[in-house]
Amino acid sequence: MDFIFGTFATDELKVVHHRTARRGVQHQYKLSPRDPLPGQPVTVHVCLGTDLSADSVACYYTLDGTRPDGARGVAANGQVLRLEPAGITWDAVAWGYVSHWRGVLPAQPDGTVVRYRIGAWTDGGPEVFADWPNVQDTAELAAAAYFRGDPLPQTPPGDPSRGQVFSYHVDQLRPPDWAREAVIYQVFVDRFYPGDGRSWLEPA
């Protein structure tokens, strides 16, 4: 079996990645359609993890390029869309229920940049913004600890009250036809690095 580098190097690290993706508020740029055309509404999908119970989810968004801002369903800059529950699923690896929410952002004209943030909260709790915890950051910290021989961290990094700003561009740009048949190959030069103090081999 081939060795997998990085954050999926062991079964334990794979579980860290899987469980982190089912914690907190996760959006992960899940949109339908992924690359909207002018005049197409966009459905925003959000998952609330096994560790988070929320009775409200909101998407704060702007159409003028500025940073969207808001709290607990009230927009401070831009507009707000309240999301609706869309189902609950059981995840055996995370050992808990994941709740799914969605909402539809209105169609926009060609050239519009939609920027948005997503927050979830209960009446008595703080608002947690997507994507928290950050799956990639958490997985990389866990992998770094593993390769150092340290215990895996138990607390995810980041501030749940910050989250991140997502965006998409509304346009009619499409990949060229030749790209559909293209074969793209990337060489990771660092994989051939001989090590500190050693010279590169001369090519034949």
Domain boundaries, the chain: 6-173
47 CB neighbour count, 10 Å cutoff: 25
The single-letter code of the amino acid at 6 is G
- Please report the pLDDT score of residue 3 as a whole number: 60
pLDDT value at 202 more than 80? no
Q: Which two tokens stand for residue 106?
A: 């209105």
- 90: β partners: 97
Residue 169 and residue 115 in contact, taking contact as beta carbons nearer than 8 Å: no
Among 48, 49, 52, 9, CA closest to 139? 9
- Please report the pLDDT score of residue 96 as a whole number: 95
Helix (H) and strand (E) counts in the chain:
2, 12
Helix axes 11-20 and 135-148, enclosed angle (nearest 10) = 160
- Please report the pLDDT score of residue 85 as a whole number: 97
Q: What is the pTM of this model?
A: 0.85
- Mean pLDDT across 75-81: 98
Residue 38 and residue 171 in contact, taking contact as beta carbons nearer than 8 Å: yes
Q: What is the assigned CATH class of domain 6-173?
A: mainly beta
